[in-house]
Amino acid sequence: MDIFLIVVGLLFCFLGILGSFLPILPGPFTSWIGLLILHFTEVVPQNWVFLGVTLAVAILVWVLDYIVPAMGTKRFGGTKYGAIGATLGLIIGIIAPVPFGIIIGPFLGAFIGEMINIPDSGKAIKAAFGSFLGFLAGTFIKFIVAVAYLVLYVMEVSSHWDKLF
């Protein structure tokens, strides 16, 4: 059963990394679930302080994920239309078979969203750039935390490897 839980926990850590880019999955929180599953094994002792701190970080990043893109958009004069456009552009960029669609999509989406709201292309491009920077900053933070959780996961498993086999 321990091997099964370790594999499932590892899958959650990888899903968390994917969730850093996909707006459907909460990246760091999904990775944290992988850490939680690992601590339910008999091999790895439960460390509630470790789980509490990593959960607090995951929640903080989840909250920041809503604040940082909005700050980037507002700082560059953007509106809600730009933020919604950036999210839709990300989804289309992931689905579309275009190289770098995940990067181009949010920018184009934010630009189109701002053009719907503000027909001035100069303001729309500035706001789209701010929305895009906010999106990149939020994605980068989520990615770093999810990768850190994967590293912590691997370290925990490797330190108890001899008890597994």
- 71-85 tens-digit pLDDT: 777 778 778 888 788
Distance separating alpha carbons of residues 77 and 87, to the nearest angstrom: 17
Task: Judge residue 25's burial from the number of C-beta atoms within 10 Å of its C-beta, 0-12 exposed, 13-18 middle, 19 or more buried.
Answer: middle
* Domain residue limits at 108: 2-164
- Token reading at 27: 């990246």
Global pTM value: 0.79
Whether the CB-CB separation of 87 and 134 falls below 8 Å is answered with: no
- 85-134 tens-digit pLDDT: 877 887 888 787 777 777 788 788 888 988 898 788 888 888 788 877 88
**Total domains, the chain:** 1
